Structure 1
Amino acid sequence: MRKKFNSKFLVAIFASIMLILSACGGEKSSNDEGKDSKGTSDTGDELSVGYYVNATLGDKSFFDSVKRGVDQAEKELGYKVKTIEGGTNQGDWAAGIESMVSSGKYDVILVGTSQTVEMVDELAQKYPDQKFIFFDDVVDQPNVYSMTYSQSEGSFLAGAFAGLVTTSDELEGGNPEKVVGFVGGMDIPIINDFKSGYEQGAHYVDKDIKVVSSIIGNFADAPKAKELTLSQINSQKADIVYQVAAAAGLGVLEAANEKGVYSIGVDSNQNDLYPGSVLTSMMKNLDTSTFRALEMFKDGDLPFGTHEELGVKEEGVGLAQDDLYDEHVPQSIRDKMDEIQQKLKDGEIEVKSTLK
């Protein structure tokens, strides 16, 4: 004889099963939580940023400056940070950046320079859900925020400073010739914009100043940079040289120091590398602007699909005016530079850019 199941018992079992399934299905794990349209986390999870260096760190200027901003974001904003150095072989860069993108590990990827514009443009289209912060040039895609710096304005300040130095009789390392030097990493549009601003600044001080220039051919060959600088000093009588060559530019500063003349650093404050020889540095404030962009990203306020240019007025560029500057630069030159910088901020001086 078959036993009959109690119907009330069956209902109780069914209700218990449904309650358990409902509880499991309604609870989201942290991996299921998405990001909102601006890249910020819905749950407050730790955000991750990948910084791709299309070179190596240790240049004491450009890429190191960006790294300082990334490190600050890690410390103060709680980002999880991964930095990958791509090396000097350009053929490796596209694959290196795509490897970061395809991993899906990063809420935002930080990369820059004109040498990677086409690579990032293609990847931004191929991976439309990946957010990028691009620095020092423009990638016009809806998932990319680009920030550039008015290197022409910053270099105008460097050129005016060089002009005041070469025409000064207060500095022991000067000579009677009105000649200033420029050493760039590569013959590319952005470096030519540096050069143009530098020439405009020097001629603002004295239209008869001669600007001699040399191009290294890359951003890593410090010995060649040193050789070119020595030629400018020995053969062409330059008594101050402006380097725009990242790690290679360290050779420029070394040469000027050895010959007892003057130099101008770039991107970061390099005054302390050779105090009294490096009189100032034209700073692209990549560190502060990088931190600013990552802070805006975290807050959901970073305007992807747009481009911002940061000049003297926005404090995106400027001269390093620290204790060493005060110690080694005559008061007359410091006063004149303050005047020129204020005129730039007020729009009384217009600097032409070769990129526009």
Structure 2
Amino acid sequence: MLRIYPLFRRFPMGYHSKTKPAGFFIAAAFIFCSAAALFAGGGGDTGGKSSKEISIAVFVPGVMSGSPIYEMLAEGVRKAGSEEPGAAVTVIEGGFNQAEWEPKLTALAATGSYDLIVSSNPSLPALASSVSVKFPKQKFLLLDGEISGNPMIYTMRYNQREQAYVAGYLAAMVAQEGKTGVGKTSRIGLLAGQEYPAMNTIMLPAYLEAAKAIDPAFEVDFRVVGNWYDAGKGAELASDMIRNKSAVILCVAGGANEGAVQAAAETGAKVIWYDTNGYAVRPGTVVGSAILRQDKAAYEQTRRFLDGTLPFGTAEIVGMKEGYVDFVEDDPNYIAAVSPGIREKQAALLSRLRSGELDLGE
């Protein structure tokens, strides 16, 4: 079942119980809605409605609790909605079962209640395209994915090549320094929740490429949990990686990251956090945070929709130069955990990426 959280409206979404009489009331409702649609008029990217009528749904492909990246998504959309008098934002959780995402997204579009559906996940563009065939008037704003040519879908994909590269660069330097519980080594790890195209073709190769830029002898031990929540499995896999001399592990496994961090803390290995600032999760164990500024992206693109300037049908790719991908280097826990020499080299890499001097591609 969908879990729905109205963030501005305090009243129910308006579904009628099946036990109520149909007949006259359904006909009357149909006539009223038809008349309202007829006289609403207008067009444009906000669906031709006044700000008081604009309704936005945030579809979370997972759950909000324990998912900072989705919390940022909702936060950004909420902020934009709060600036538009009378606009309504509702968050719907799709749950962990990916097989249910498309049916739930279809059900959401079928209500006809939302001028815009916002979501974030590499798999969402394909799902939204399928839903769009059935409901061609539904507009979608999708982050962390890419598709172009559909006049009702706008996507913004983060340059995860840059994000994984800065993580791999730091991981290799820390491993090579030899001050972890594993000792000096030429092996680092990557723990993923699942395999998916961006992981296999962008993130993993970039992570390894960065490590080899430090020393061509570096190897990456790549492990997959199989889901995004099993902390026990995460701990088991991380422990095995550490036994096999992975001194630093990049964690991209959702809730399973907790197990990996625990395993690293118990052995003196180190962890690099992904998507959000994770230094406070375990100070001294988490030595890096390669982040996405998803709250910024969600706010700015929702704001463009409300202003009628969001370019539906297009796909944008953004990275460190644009300020949507970054690495947190001013956190006291980072400064305390990483030696000055390594921080200096990491800062030099970040400066070149932020300025656009270094282009890693997409």
Q: Give the equivalent residue in structure 1 for 2:226.
A: 217
Q: Give the equivalent residue in structure 2 for 1:248.
A: 256
Contact 1:65 1:268 in 2 (8 A): no
Alignment of 1:248-327 (within 5 A): 248-321=256-329, 322-327=331-336
Change in Cα spacing, 1:259 to 1:34, as seen in structure 2 (3 Å) is farther
Is the aligned partner of 1:70 residue 2:77? yes
Is the aligned partner of 1:197 residue 2:191? no
Which segment is superposed worse, 40-49 or 240-249? 40-49
Larger CA Rg, structure 1 vs 2 = 1
State the Cα distance separating 1:113 from its structure 2 match: 1.9
State the Cα distance separating 1:44 from its structure 2 match: 3.0
Q: Give the equivalent residue in structure 2 for 1:43.
A: 50
Q: Give the equivalent residue in structure 2 for 1:136.
A: 144
Q: Give the equivalent residue in structure 1 for 2:24.
A: none
Structure 1 Cα separation of the partners of residues 165 and 233 of structure 2: 26
Change in Cα spacing, 1:84 to 1:34, as seen in structure 2 (3 Å) is farther
Q: Give the equivalent residue in structure 1 for 2:92.
A: 84
Q: What is the TM-score normalised by the length of structure 2?
A: 0.83
Structure 2 Cα separation of the partners of residues 242 and 275 of structure 1: 15
Q: Deviations over 1:80-113 (max 9, x none)?
A: 1111111122222122111211112211101232
Contact 1:40 1:299 in 2 (8 A): no
Number of residue pairs matched by the alignment: 324
State the Cα distance separating 1:351 from its structure 2 match: 2.5
Q: Give the equivalent residue in structure 2 for 1:23.
A: none
Give the aligned residue type for 1:89: N
Give the aligned residue type for 1:146: T
State the Cα distance separating 1:61 from its structure 2 match: 3.5
State the Cα distance separating 1:137 from its structure 2 match: 1.3
State the Cα distance separating 1:134 from its structure 2 match: 1.1
Q: What is the TM-score normalised by the length of structure 1?
A: 0.84
One of 164, 167, 176 as aligned partner of 2:173: 164
Give the aligned residue type for 1:253: V
State the Cα distance separating 1:214 from its structure 2 match: 0.7
SS at match of 1:39: coil
Give the aligned residue type for 2:353: L
Identity %: 28
RMSD of aligned alpha carbons: 2.2
Structure 2 Cα separation of the partners of residues 75 and 173 of structure 1: 48
State the Cα distance separating 1:268 from its structure 2 match: 1.2
One of 224, 239, 248 as aligned partner of 1:230: 239
SS at match of 2:177: coil
Change in Cα spacing, 1:123 to 1:117, as seen in structure 2 (3 Å) is same
Structure 1 Cα separation of the partners of residues 332 and 186 of structure 2: 27
Q: Deviations over 1:125-165 (max 9, x none)?
A: 32222110012112331110101001111110000010111
One of 94, 112, 117 as aligned partner of 2:120: 112
One of 152, 160, 185 as aligned partner of 1:151: 160
Q: Give the equivalent residue in structure 2 for 1:331.
A: 340
SS at match of 2:312: coil
The runs of 5 or more residues in structure 1 that have no matched partner are 1-27
Contact 2:327 2:350 in 1 (8 A): no
SS at match of 1:45: helix
